[in-house]
């Protein structure tokens, strides 16, 4: 299929994206963008390597990337310090929280 930008039915991707993800839940936006990225990767494999990519595998990769992104990018690390404890010696504490603010680790 060839897309013609002069066709009245043609909608540029960025316009489609703007119109379809505005005012929706953040989780939906994450899923749409992950799927778009994996479709783009599958398209590149087909165009540049001649490799057919299974649709189900593309969807699974998008789902895995969402899980990886959420677990890797939503950790908050707090460092706590009260100042010197003895002369020029300092103590430091670290608190690690997940995306919901739950403490997942701490050390001092």
Q: pLDDT tens-digit profile of 51-71? A: 999 999 999 999 998 887 776
Q: Pick the residue with more confidence: 32 or 102? A: 32
Q: Which residue has better confidence, 3 or 11?
A: 11
Q: Give mean pLDDT, residues 78-100.
A: 65
pLDDT at 1: 46
Rg of the chain over all Cα atoms, to the nearest angstrom? 23
pTM for this structure? Answer: 0.56
73: confidence class by pLDDT, cuts 50, 70, 90: low
- For tokens 């103590």, name the residue: 91
**Distance between CA 66 and CA 79 in Å, rounded?**
28
Return the exposure string of 81-103: e unless at least 16 CB atoms fall within 10 Å of the residue's CB, then b: eeeeeeeeeeeeeeeebeeeeee
Residue 13: what pLDDT? 80
Return the pLDDT at 20: 80
Contacts of residue 27, Cβ cutoff 8 Å, sequence gap at least 6: none
Of 27, 106, 103, the closest CA to residue 66 belongs to 27
């Amino acid at each position: 299929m060839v897309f013609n930008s002069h066709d009245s039915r043609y909608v540029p991707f960025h316009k489609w994206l703007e119109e379809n993800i505005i005012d929706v839940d953040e989780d939906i936006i994450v899923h749409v963008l992950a799927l778009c990225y994996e479709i783009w990767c599958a398209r590149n494999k087909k165009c540049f390597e001649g490799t057919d990519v299974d649709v189900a595998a593309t969807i699974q990769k998008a789902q895995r990337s969402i899980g990886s992104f959420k677990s890797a990018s939503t950790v908050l690390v707090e460092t706590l310090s009260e100042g010197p404890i003895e002369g020029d010696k300092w103590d430091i504490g670290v608190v690690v929280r997940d995306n919901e603010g739950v403490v997942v680790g701490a050390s001092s």
